Amino acid sequence: MIYALQEEHNDDLPIPLTPAEHLSIEYPPLFDVEPCQIVVAPLHLTLGVVTVLLRLGVEAAALHGGRAASARAATSVAAALLEDLRVRPVPYHGGGFAGRECHRITQRGAVVCDALDGHIPATQLAALRTAWVEWAGMVRTLNRAQEIPAEGITDFCTSVQRFAPALLVALSWLSISPKLHALTHHAPAFLRRFGSLVSYAEQALESWHAFSNHARAQCTADSLLGSCAQLVQRAAVERQQLAEQSLRNGTTRKSAAAGARMP
């Protein structure tokens, strides 16, 4: 992406992108992530944002009426999810929802808001209703495999830009999670550049995060950035393929049979 901007290929895009719109283009990341990915980011963003919206309703009840009010709101939402939406949390997501359940919840976000009616102030409930509607529109673009037309890209980016700020007006304690940050800042830039988000993956980056956290005990500094810089310096001095070593677990994949359909 850096080279494309330098060579002025940016002019060929339906919506031109400047380096200032995405700082990771202007300033390269510390780690060079291999493009061999397994899990795509749209799944992670879908799981993360749905969790945030569900949690905000219960938090609003807690701040408005205390612990007992939050318990009543959580019970009401849980009953709506179980009886009306027919979804259930799964153990392999830590008691959260799988992707299919998140899509079902997103499509019927009004049911969640109806369950919160009477438990939280009207202004906060209205903000959540608007957020669920906008999120439902973004999910359709987020999980679409085909190339998105320029008008769809513009609509997605406009919705993303007002999504979190609008929530912050009514729900000021909202914390910008990594998933919300990726949705707000990285997904629009990737969509403008490549026309689709289905190839925007993050598993290799998460593997690097895990390796970096493990190595921080040997790379101590006053900040995370300083620890990362020491890790990169150590890798350069040792000339070792640290990423390959940390990700190699002894498993191998067999070659596909002749004539088999390749993914």
pLDDT in tens, 180-220: 888 888 888 888 888 888 766 555 555 666 666 677 677 77
Which residues have a Cβ under 8 Å from the Cβ of 215 and sit 6 or more positions away?
227, 231
Domain layout of the chain by residue ranges? 41-194, 205-247
Output the pLDDT for position 207.
62
pTM of the model: 0.62
CB 125 within 8 A of CB 167: no
CB 195 within 8 A of CB 153: yes
Output the pLDDT for position 17.
62
CA distance 137 to 159: 8
User: What one-letter code names the amino acid at 11?
Assistant: D
Output the pLDDT for position 243.
44
State the Cα angle at 132 between 130 and 138, rounded to 5°. Answer: 105
pLDDT in tens, 4-44: 555 556 666 666 666 555 444 444 444 454 544 444 578 78
Name the residue among 139, 175, 138, 178 with its Cα closest to residue 160.
138
pLDDT in tens, 125-152: 999 999 999 999 999 888 887 788 889 9
State the Cα angle at 19 between 165 and 204, rounded to 5°. Answer: 80
CB 48 within 8 A of CB 97: no
CB 157 within 8 A of CB 192: yes
CA distance 246 to 167: 39
